Chain A
Amino acid sequence: MPERPAEPTGVTGISAGATGSGTSGEPAIELEGIWVRFGGLQALQEVSFSAARGEVSGLIGPNGAGKTTLFNVATGLQRPERGRVRLLGREVTRMGAHRRCRLGVARTFQRLELFWSLTVEENIRVAAEAHLHRRLRGVGAGLLRGNASPWNGPSDGGLRRHPRSQTTASTVARILDRTGLTGLATERVDGLPTGTARLVELARALATDPVVLLADEPGSGLDDADASTLGSLLRELASDGMAVVLVEHDMGLVMRTCHRVTVLDFGTVIASGKPSDVRSDPAVQAAYLGAPGVEVPAR
């Protein structure tokens, strides 16, 4: 399969905060030597992983390899036994999920976690509002300190910029438009098909104006055409300056979309690199085909 280059698409950014404020290739989130144990099961063992702004990083592996656990560690829903998590160079290992979100981590869930009794629009709005709320707090704190440019809010360590004009309503409208959900805005999400519901989760994550977007199997439940559109959207988001991490079982989507791929198996990293290299890696093939050893005899 041909490798598509990560061309910048120049679409109007959803993530205005991310646009231009980061250099492509700079690691946005770094997980270092992560260990997680559930009872007798070592779910993650000395796993290191990082994702750079401007790139889509794939995270693949057989079921139970520890991908979602790694997401939980990255977002703060699971505390690691050992290891460190850094966000834009800042240590966040002991920080709770909602504070990490304020620093720019957003995610979607493999098992859908939508706000089922709200509409599509409200699902996105509630995230945008939570985000606006803390942005205003940042402004207040900035003004108190006599900060010349309050939008470089000290609450987020001056890491991100926000244009003054951005209001919740326009953010929601823009995200609805970009994810193609405008027509479903007033629908309650509990009636939506799974594929569309996953799109709503993605839209909701974008409403928090993330620097790092962790997408957990966003493609499952989508047909090929929709999956392909999703792939382009993820690449666009990356080219806007976001660090996108994609967990996915659809290998076609992963290979087309990702700039780099990391493979997990039984809680350890077994390969990492460009999609084409990873694909031909014998260890990866063994993990996926279930062969006992790496070396497959030629005879």
Chain B
Amino acid sequence: MNEFLALSVVGIVYGAVYAITASGLVVTYATSGVFNFAHGAVGMVAAFSYWELSVNLGMPVLASLAVVLLVEAPVLGLVVERLLARQLHSASTERALMVTLGLMLVLVGIASTVWNPETERILPGFFSMDSARILGVNVSGQQMLVVALAIAVAVALWGLLKHSRLGVAMRAVVDDPELLAMAGASPIRVARAGWILGSMLAALAGILLAPLVTLDITTLTLLVVNGYAAAVVGRLKNLPLTFAGGAALGLIQSWAVGYMPQSWQSWLPGIRTALPMIFLFAVLLILPQDRLRAIGRVVTNGVPRVAGLRESVAGALALVVLAAVAGGLLSGTAIATISQGLVYGIIALSLVLLTGYAGQVSLAQLTIVGVGAFVMGKVDGGGSWFGVLAAVVCCAVLGALVALPALRLKGLYLALSTLAFAQGATYVFFDNDHVFGSGGSIAVGRPAIAGISVSSAHTEMTVLASMFGIAGIAVLAIRRSALGRRLVATNDSPAASATIGLGVRTTKLLAFAMSAGLAGLAGALYGGLQGQVGANDFGLFSSMTLLLLLVICGVRTVSGALVAGIGFAALPVLQSHVSWVSDLVGLVTGVGVVLVGRLPNGLFGSSPVHRRIEARRLARVYTSDPITADVIQDHANA
């Protein structure tokens, strides 16, 4: 009984922090319609700032707290609202999602530049020494403080929302921003208040969490997943349910530590760490789907023309010839980088299918790639074409299986479920000694071509260029086919698709399976290229970064996939030449996507020159085409 109580106290404490961070997410989402993926990163930056002030510079605790909570966090919220969120007001869910993911990468990049991740830092609790005995359980001062603060936050939010003018406006804006505007309150002011409040709550949660876990950039940033889970319990708008969700998650986690059978532990060592992801996944699937904010008409002026067969074959041939020729001229490092880039390019192509055409956001693509590499390494001696085939098939099946429960999810919820899947797979599968062995990596070979093994780097690069070319031709062929039209149609308008007789579910499932199959191919090739693959190659952050790079370069184009892939491989090389900044990859990607995301039509579609050309072309079409002119004439005569 005592053990149960002790575990419950720990659970409640964690749950209280999750509830605080989740309530911040909900307040921001409800008032501005933007789900802030960078919420955890804001908390992380706040925790590090607090460490800087109170530990490193030796400022008094209260003064440090005041600076971080009352100055830094509100200013950060204000800046984000002004520079990013306001432009996202009428944007599609996907664009808002990409931009806040970009913001998260930027914050992580800045933090790792300012606070070197290699250095170990300890953030003490507020009253680490004092503790009291309650019901026979030792409860520390820090624990009591956390719970008291959570209660205080709940009461303060309740008071604000029920009894202040601003609070009433905040509740009104959830229902109908335009109506609120007509009633004389400014939706922008309300959204600004929402961002400031959200940012402060994120900061508070970060400062409270850091002493409980560890002052580590990635850990703190990803702990927000627990907050996501709690917020989803409240369906992103109900605060009491959100608090209940946070508490439930904290308790489940804590009880699992005490009562989970040892046999589970030995087979799935990461299962405890993965619990929040499993919880989030389960909540997403179980809870009735609330209608997310209507997207309205998604601006698609950036949609590029689709290349024909001849054009795509010519492009592929050019790429192969270029690789064959350039291979003789480039240094070994350059060849290795480009080869890697070509493999990443194939992964990006799989995202073109899934995200570019079918509109399904997946943050778990590298997880699938990792499974592909694993299968390649385990099947048939770890370097045969049979292994490649097995990787493709296994991943396609896995992709369909993952998509199956997620079929009813869309937009934000789908992205969250893939995030939970990616992070859960890292803990349970990739970090598992039974999978990659205790050394953390397995050897993978290259399949021979016509009986000749591919040993030189130059040949390997040419082979990979051909593979990218073939994959590119295939992706474009799919886009031009009936299936491609179905993918795009179900993305553009699910309602209209249903009324012309298209089954939305089958189409989605096919998109996931095809994309995962292609990712599996990339995994097999990645393994062959690297010679060995390990647990660290397929993390959530890499998946996000590659996806965002692709968004910057053009999520619907094969050339965009190529550039994104090469860029993803080249940025780490560039990093080694730049010492004054760390995490260059994340920073460049984050800043890039934030800049592109601010423009409603992407980089190209937003330029005034482009708009003028488009208008002139349409005017020409309307007047010069003889048949159209006839129709117009007929209409006039009728």
In the complex, whether B502 has a CB less than 8 A from a CB of chain A is yes
Least Cβ–Cβ distance between A283 and chain B, in angstroms: 31
Residue ID in chain B nearest A222 by CB atoms: B635
In the complex, whether A118 has a CB less than 8 A from a CB of chain B is yes
Judging by beta carbons under 8 Å apart, are A117 and B498 in contact? no
Q: Could you tell me which residues of chain B, from 421 to 441, have a CB within 8 Å of some CB in chain A?
A: none
Q: Which size bracket describes the interface of B in this complex?
A: 35 or more
Question: A116-B297, A126-B489, A228-B638 known; A184 and B621 CB under 8 Å?
Answer: yes
On chain B, the residues within 8 Å of A75 by CB distance are 499
Least Cβ–Cβ distance between B635 and chain A, in angstroms: 5
Assembled-state Cα–Cα distance A167/B558 (Å): 31
A-contacting 9-mer, from B98-106, B344-352, B450-458, B626-634: B626-634
Q: Per-position contact with A for B614-638: 1 when CB-CB < 8 Å, else 0?
A: 1000100100011111010011111
A-contacting 9-mer, from B377-385, B391-399, B469-477, B480-488: B480-488
Cβ-Cβ contact count across A and B, 8 Å cutoff: 127
In the complex, whether A125 has a CB less than 8 A from a CB of chain B is yes
In the complex, whether B501 has a CB less than 8 A from a CB of chain A is yes
In the complex, whether A5 has a CB less than 8 A from a CB of chain B is no
Q: Per-position contact with A for B497-532: 1 when CB-CB < 8 Å, else 0?
A: 111111110000000000000000000000000000
On chain A, the residues within 8 Å of B637 by CB distance are 225
Q: Per-position contact with B for A97-125: 1 when CB-CB < 8 Å, else 0?
A: 11101100111010011111110001101
Judging by beta carbons under 8 Å apart, are A109 and B498 in contact? no
In the complex, whether B155 has a CB less than 8 A from a CB of chain A is no
On chain A, the residues within 8 Å of B500 by CB distance are 98, 101, 106, 126-127, 130-131, 204-205, 207-208
Residue of B492, B504, B614, B625 near A115 (CB, 8 A) is B492
Interface centre among B491, B503, B636, B638, by most chain A C-beta atoms within 10 angstroms, is B638
Least Cβ–Cβ distance between B615 and chain A, in angstroms: 9
Judging by beta carbons under 8 Å apart, are B499 and A115 in contact? no
On chain A, the residues within 8 Å of B629 by CB distance are 183
Judging by beta carbons under 8 Å apart, are A77 and B499 in contact? yes
Judging by beta carbons under 8 Å apart, are A114 and B625 in contact? no
Q: Could you tell me which residues of chain A, from 171 to 197, have a CB within 8 Å of some CB in chain B?
A: 180-184, 187-188, 190-191
On chain B, the residues within 8 Å of A134 by CB distance are 501
Assembled-state Cα–Cα distance A77/B627 (Å): 37
Assembled-state Cα–Cα distance A122/B481 (Å): 10
In the complex, whether A220 has a CB less than 8 A from a CB of chain B is no
On chain B, the residues within 8 Å of A187 by CB distance are 618, 621
Least Cβ–Cβ distance between A205 and chain B, in angstroms: 7
Question: A77-B499, A96-B498, A183-B621 known; A117 and B303 CB under 8 Å?
Answer: yes
Q: Could you tell me which residues of chain A, from 198 to 229, have a CB within 8 Å of some CB in chain B?
A: 201, 204-205, 207-208, 225-226, 228-229
Residue of A109, A116, A181, A228 near B300 (CB, 8 A) is A116
Judging by beta carbons under 8 Å apart, are A126 and B303 in contact? no
Least Cβ–Cβ distance between B386 and chain A, in angstroms: 34
Residue of B498, B501, B502, B628 near A77 (CB, 8 A) is B498
Q: Could you tell me which residues of chain B, from 117 to 141, have a CB within 8 Å of some CB in chain A?
A: none
Judging by beta carbons under 8 Å apart, are B618 and A229 in contact? no
Least Cβ–Cβ distance between B613 and chain A, in angstroms: 11
Judging by beta carbons under 8 Å apart, are A77 and B485 in contact? no
Assembled-state Cα–Cα distance A2/B17 (Å): 74
Question: A184-B621, A190-B301, A229-B634 known; A118 and B488 CB under 8 Å?
Answer: yes
Question: A117-B300, A184-B621, A190-B300 known; A106 and B635 CB under 8 Å?
Answer: no
Least Cβ–Cβ distance between B165 and chain A, in angstroms: 26
Least Cβ–Cβ distance between A162 and chain B, in angstroms: 14
Judging by beta carbons under 8 Å apart, are B498 and A97 in contact? yes
On chain A, the residues within 8 Å of B298 by CB distance are 116
Residue ID in chain A nearest B503 by CB atoms: A98
Residue of A116, A118, A184, A225 near B636 (CB, 8 A) is A225
On chain B, the residues within 8 Å of A205 by CB distance are 499-500
In the complex, whether B493 has a CB less than 8 A from a CB of chain A is yes
Least Cβ–Cβ distance between A226 and chain B, in angstroms: 5
On chain B, the residues within 8 Å of A133 by CB distance are 482
Question: A116-B300, A117-B488, A129-B482 known; A106 and B621 CB under 8 Å?
Answer: no
Judging by beta carbons under 8 Å apart, are B499 and A101 in contact? yes
Judging by beta carbons under 8 Å apart, are B631 and A180 in contact? yes
Residue of B485, B495, B638 near A109 (CB, 8 A) is B495
Judging by beta carbons under 8 Å apart, are B638 and A116 in contact? no
Assembled-state Cα–Cα distance A116/B626 (Å): 25
On chain A, the residues within 8 Å of B287 by CB distance are none
On chain B, the residues within 8 Å of A118 by CB distance are 485, 488-489, 492
Judging by beta carbons under 8 Å apart, are A183 and B496 in contact? no
On chain A, the residues within 8 Å of B482 by CB distance are 125-126, 129, 133
**Apart from A96-B498, A115-B492, A187-B621, what 8 extra A-B contacts exist at CB < 8 Å?**
A115-B489, A117-B492, A127-B501, A129-B485, A130-B501, A188-B303, A229-B635, A229-B638
Q: Sorted from nearest, which 7 A-B pairs have the closest CB atoms?
A: A183-B628, A180-B631, A101-B501, A97-B498, A183-B625, A113-B496, A183-B627
Interchain Cβ contacts under 8 Å between A and B, 23 examples = A76-B498, A98-B502, A101-B499, A106-B500, A109-B495, A113-B493, A116-B298, A116-B303, A116-B492, A117-B300, A117-B488, A126-B500, A129-B482, A180-B628, A181-B631, A183-B631, A184-B621, A187-B621, A190-B300, A191-B614, A201-B496, A205-B499, A208-B501
Interface, chain A (partner B; CB < 8 A) = 75-77, 96-99, 101-102, 105-107, 109, 112-118, 122-123, 125-127, 129-131, 133-134, 180-184, 187-188, 190-191, 201, 204-205, 207-208, 225-226, 228-229, 232
